[in-house]
Structure 1
């Protein structure tokens, strides 16, 4: 078979198609409802949809679909025990004094940091390169379309004491992120249980 025919066949099979991936934790329904109650009262904001609330453990980025099987296999080898988390406090990310997003913090981080490290090793083992950044676990609830003009400081101070109930992490998920004009859609690719 000629190289041209091999490439055509690979394209037809989707082997060179890209998918946008990240590894994260799903948040229980009742806590997503609590987070949703925080999503109002500011202008120039794109609030995160309730179904999209999550904790990112590692953003991978665009990956050839042909790597998916190896990635799933590598992630499935991770061993971790169940652990509890509590969402706590509200803050924001900024760069050069421009506010980019609002997020909710996490009280217990040690188990998350260990799981994050294991996930990074598994991604590398699957032969996928990704950008490493300082890990700061959080739940994003808003992204700014323009800089907030009014009520921003009042909003942050008014929600500073937010705290969820404690909840148990029993698994983590490989998500596919599909970008749409009205915001991303996060599809579950594979869920990996604790063991």
Structure 2
């Protein structure tokens, strides 16, 4: 049996937004302390699977490939900090389409017999880790993009933090069916 893979499912912001998100994170670092997330690592997690046997990848990919969803727009505009030092950017308002996609992903994982973290889904994009101060109320930001796919991602720990490698992408259908 091979080494387990540390996996999660995520929505990525488009590459044209990553420089602005990165500038926001660096600016927040000056106010909050901590370590900015690298631009290539910025993502919104749909589900965290954790350590998963590599032999389960075909079943996992088949379950996810069967999901149908239409493209939808996300607007992130809420900055906050959790007690664990994570500074994050959250939804400006609830996104039923994102909630439905996250639920569909979790249902597919359950039906395929795959384990995942069952914590309540709290959509957010992590900007800083290990911050020591709250986000100043004067800092505002808004980012909007159309979600056209999601990714199955492998997290690989390293000395400078984890790096991510896409194992598969799952595209939206034209009408969600």
Same fold (TM over 0.5): yes
Q: Which runs of 4+ in 1 moved over 4 A?
A: none
Which of 97, 112, 119 lines up with 1:126 in the alignment?
112
Deviation at 1:87, TM superposition (A): 1.4
1:103 aligns with 2:103: no
Give 3-state SS (helix, strand or coil) of 2:141's partner. coil
Structure 2 CA distance for aligned equivalents of residues 82 and 43 of structure 1? 34
Larger Rg: 1
Q: Map of 1:31-180 to 2, 5 A cutoff? A: 31-40=17-26, 41-42=30-31, 44-94=33-83, 99-107=84-92, 108-144=94-130, 148=132, 152-153=133-134, 155-159=135-139, 161-164=140-143, 166-180=144-158
Runs of 5+ unmatched residues, structure 1: 1-14
CA–CA distance in structure 2, aligned partners of residues 89 and 61 of structure 1: 27
Task: Structure 2 unaligned segments of length 5 or more: list them.
Answer: none
1:126 Cα shift?
2.0
In the alignment of these two chains, the number of paired residues is 169
Structure 2 length as normaliser, TM-score?
0.89
Root mean square deviation, CA, Å: 1.5
Shift of 1:42: 4.2
Superposition deviation, residue 38 in structure 1:
1.6
Q: TM-score of the superposition, structure 1-length normalised?
A: 0.81
By how many angstroms is 1:44 displaced? 4.7
